[in-house]
Amino acid sequence: MRYIEQQAVVKRMNGRLIANSIFKYVFLAATLVALVALVILLYRIISQGMGHLSIEFLTNFASRFPEKAGIKAALVGSLWLMLVVAPTSIILGVGSAIYLEEYAKQNRITTFIRMNISNLAGVPSVVFGLLGLTIFVRAMALGNSILAAGFTMSLLILPVIVVASQEAIRSVPGELRDASFGMGATKWQTIVKIILPAAIPGILTGSILALSRAIGETAPLIVIGVPVIIQFLPAGVMDTFTALPMQIYDWSSRPQPEFQNVAAAGIMVLMAVLLFMNSIAVIIRNKFDKRY
């Protein structure tokens, strides 16, 4: 007597094997959708924007005429914005991370701060715009200045920097800490001279990625009333300004089709800036990876 009915097994087996091989390709195809979407997106933007991209485009101010429209004010404005956002968000983010990882006791306040940070990461950016409008633009009377926009953006990316810095600090081996304490260093000395230098690659990588999110954000800028048509460069942080995504938004929403090409060229500039920032992050990550 046979224990296994071969016929029945073979009959079931075929269907299972076919399902197995079909679904392998279904899953692969789904993964490739992401790749294809990215390729089409980049191809479309480059083919549309390439014709308009020139030195004049980078050095001209915005204009009613598509052939004269340039991105100078927006590019410089975005750099100014980064001058405010980078120090503000990194000091706040790294400071919070050091507190949470090194000083905070395991109590309710600490749990509350942690929970709060993860919830803050889920708040839509347009709501941060409403916060900026009320607190910075109106209550602190900063107007639609670089400072007001910079503070709003800093709060927006704060959770990202805190989480990245926490991970970087946590990954510093405990032996380093113990050795430093063993040599008689105080806590703050250990943090400044041992932990931060060891954690800096992770902190920088996370911060740069967060900043590249800030440079592409549009909604908060619109809500706090950042204008588009600016014919001068800001001279200080209290000046009004415009930024790359604002300019792109304006060009995209204009009815004339020529402005779509201008918008595509603007997007190329924005993407180039992002690519530059991301490659710095990747270089830092690779250069300092696995030192311990």
Partner 1 sequence: MRPSVQEMIARSNGKKNKKAIEKIIPILLFLIASVSVLTSIGIVVTLIVETITFFTRVPFFDFIFGTTWLPFSNKDAQFGILPLIVGTLKVTLIATIVAVPIGISAAIYLSEYASENVRRILKPVLEVLAGVPTIVYGFFALTFVTPILQSVFPEIKIFNAISPGIVVGIMIIPMIASLSEDAMSSVPKSIREGALAMGSTKFEVAWKITVPAALSGIIASVVLAVSRAIGETMIVSLAAGSTPRFDGDFTGSIQTMTAYIVQVSKGDAGFGTTIYYSIYAVGFTLFVFTMVMNILAGYVSKRFREEY
Footprint on residues 213-242 left by partner 1 (CB under 8 A): 213, 215-219, 222-225
Q: Which is nearer to partner 1, 10 or 28 (CB)?
A: 28
x/- letters, 135..174, toward partner 1 (CB under 8 A):
x--x----------------x--xx--x------------
- By CB under 8 A, the residues from 73 to 92 that bind partner 1 are 91-92
Closest by Cα among 24, 148, 161, 37 to 91? 161
Q: Which is nearer to partner 1, 184 or 236 (CB)?
A: 184
Q: What's the CA gap between 74 and 5, in Å, rounded?
A: 74
Q: What's the CA gap between 130 and 133, in Å, rounded?
A: 5
Q: Which is nearer to partner 1, 14 or 59 (CB)?
A: 14
Say whether residue 106 binds partner 1 (CB under 8 A): no
Q: Is the dihedral of CA 76, 82, 85, 91 positive or negative?
A: negative
Spell 194-203 as b/e; 16+ CB within 10 A means b: bbbebbbbbb
Kindly indicate which of the ranges 62-70, 75-83, 131-139, 196-204 contains the residues binding partner 1, using the contact rule CB under 8 A.
131-139
Closest by Cα among 95, 163, 123 to 131? 123
* Cα→Cα distances 190→193, 198, 289, 292, Å: 5, 11, 21, 17
- By CB under 8 A, the residues from 14 to 43 that bind partner 1 are 16-17, 19-20, 23-24, 26-31, 33-35, 37-38, 40-41
Q: What angle do CA 200, 153, 204 make, to 5 degrees?
A: 10
Q: Which is nearer to partner 1, 194 or 263 (CB)?
A: 263
Out of 65, 188, 232, 276, which residue is the one contacting partner 1 (CB under 8 A)?
Answer: 188
